[in-house]
Amino acid sequence: MNEKSAKRILALIIAFVMMLCLGLIYAWSIFVVPLETEFGWTRDKTSLTFMISMICFCIGGVFDGKQLIRGRSFRTMLFASAILMVIGFLAASTTTQLWQFYLFYGVFCGFGVGMAYNAVISTITDHFVKNSGTVSGTLMMGFGLGALIFGVVCTKIMEAFGWRTLFIGIGIVFGVVFLLGTAALYQAFKKDSPALPQEAVSEAKPDVSFDPGRSKTYGLGLSQVLRRPEFWLLFCWIFLFGSCGLSLIGNVAPATISMGATATTAGLFTGIVSLFNGVGRSVAGTCFDRFGYKRVAIVVSIGFFVAIALLLASTNLGNLGLFFAACALTGFCFSALPVSCAAFMMKQYGPPHFAENFGAGNTNMLVQAVIGSGIFAAFLTQRGNDYSEGFLLLIPLAIAGLIVYGLLIATLRKGERAGNR
């Protein structure tokens, strides 16, 4: 292994650790019951915090992508994101009113996590252009595993010391990890460079095996990508099935408790979703590189239908075993969605504008947050927090997602025929 390759591997390991920390945002459901118990807030109000954090996560990613393309260094963006996250968690630990929690956890932490997420993935992926699916999947595996690794630990800390002490600890840990991690990445790359090194551009060549018609879309900037039908069909496919996944992810702990389980068991189930959400990302990334988008996407679509059936069966029967299977399958299928976005943007449009194209593609989480968190929470509240009825909302979303998948494949095949002429 030459020196250049060794530095890239080191950077990947460092980035993986940073993504583990960022993944804690998906463990939101473990905070729901303690906050509702202390303040008397209703489920729709606490779920709004998660929705706000997801919205700001997306906005932070778009902002970060634009700044990287304009020449801002990844080091500057990661330092800025670290400051936002530290302020957010420390300030949230002092809150006494709901709007303060919306601001500090929802806006500050959500925006900071979104900035860091895009900066890490864009920077590292640009150094592994030929294996973008596998590398982005590995990084996103860290993001998905974060809630598993920290979920049970955070639950124990809350039981012993309270959620306020926990938030202070999270703020300190995030500050240390991201300040040291950013400095280490800077040393690994030896210079404070923009998101896309010139050597990555020179090494990257159109790989038309992903889509024979892709040579016409390779190198497109965001303004051009936003006029492409395949972009919007991918966007819709991800947010429809993503809304299904987010509806469960944001409610794993309270749903488990509603079935008679303890808080510790609820934390374990939250970790199970995170485990499969994490491991699945690495698997999905490798599959995208090896088998292509079309085959992987249909498997994911069918998987969501099975997961929804398990959710409805488990909540109606009060069967934790079936609910365990539903959590695992939902986490695994959900894991493929963000990886598909990264792989699609890199292989369809290339690395020159990946940071901003990926950031724009990730805004599907805005819609996911509104539907999977906001609308689902309101729907659930109207039904007295009965999850056996609440999960019925996922059926029309999944049907629509399957229809969009068909339209996307038809569009890509049309591009293939045009490329073969």
Residue 85 reports pLDDT greater than 90: yes
- Indicate the pLDDT class of residue 173, thresholds 50, 70 and 90: very high
Residue pair 82/178 in contact (Cβ under 8 Å)? The answer is yes
Report the percentage of the chain scoring pLDDT > 70.
89
Q: Quote the pLDDT of residue 418.
A: 62
Q: Quote the pLDDT of residue 308.
A: 93
Sequence-ordered list of residues with C-beta below 8 angstroms from that of 388, at least 6 positions apart, any chain? 312, 315, 316
Residue with tokens 């398990």: 310
Q: Quote the pLDDT of residue 210.
A: 46
Q: Quote the pLDDT of residue 200.
A: 41
Q: Quote the tokens at residue 302.
A: 């069918």
Q: Which range has the worst mean pLDDT, 41-55, 107-121, 133-147, 202-216? A: 202-216
How far is the C-alpha of 172 from the C-alpha of 21, rounded, in Å? 12
Q: Quote the pLDDT of residue 208.
A: 44
Average pLDDT, the chain: 82
Q: Quote the pLDDT of residue 107.
A: 94
- Indicate the pLDDT class of residue 416, thresholds 50, 70 and 90: low
Across 352-363, average pLDDT: 82
Residue 84 reports pLDDT greater than 60: yes
Residue 204 reports pLDDT greater than 60: no
Residue with tokens 């303040």: 39
How far is the C-alpha of 110 from the C-alpha of 246, rounded, in Å? 15
pLDDT in tens, 288-322: 878 877 888 899 999 999 999 999 999 888 888 99
pLDDT in tens, 231-253: 999 999 998 999 988 888 778 88
Residue with tokens 């030896």: 190
Q: Which range has the worst mean pLDDT, 113-127, 196-210, 367-381? A: 196-210
Whole-prediction pTM: 0.70
Cβ burial of 153 (10 Å; 0-12, 13-18, 19+) is: middle
How far is the C-alpha of 222 from the C-alpha of 238, rounded, in Å? 18
Residue pair 61/22 in contact (Cβ under 8 Å)? The answer is no
Across 73-99, average pLDDT: 91
Across 22-49, average pLDDT: 82
**Residue 110 Cα distances to 11, 107, 212, 418, angstroms:** 24, 5, 38, 41
- Indicate the pLDDT class of residue 171, thresholds 50, 70 and 90: very high
Across 26-51, average pLDDT: 82
Q: Quote the pLDDT of residue 183.
A: 86
- Indicate the pLDDT class of residue 389, thresholds 50, 70 and 90: confident
Q: Quote the pLDDT of residue 83.
A: 94
Domain ranges, ordered by start, for the chain: 3-193+206-420
pLDDT in tens, 97-141: 999 989 999 999 999 999 998 888 888 877 776 666 678 778 888
What's the full length of the chain, in residues? 421
Residue pair 122/354 in contact (Cβ under 8 Å)? The answer is yes
Radius of gyration of the chain measured on its C-alpha atoms: 20
Q: Quote the pLDDT of residue 164.
A: 92
Q: Quote the pLDDT of residue 203.
A: 43
The residue that leads in pLDDT, 421 or 401, is: 401
Q: Quote the pLDDT of residue 306.
A: 94
Residue pair 199/328 in contact (Cβ under 8 Å)? The answer is no
pLDDT in tens, 321-342: 999 999 999 989 998 898 888 8
Residue 344 reports pLDDT greater than 80: yes
How far is the C-alpha of 36 from the C-alpha of 231, rounded, in Å? 40
Fold of 3-193+206-420: Growth Hormone; Chain: A; (1.20.1250)
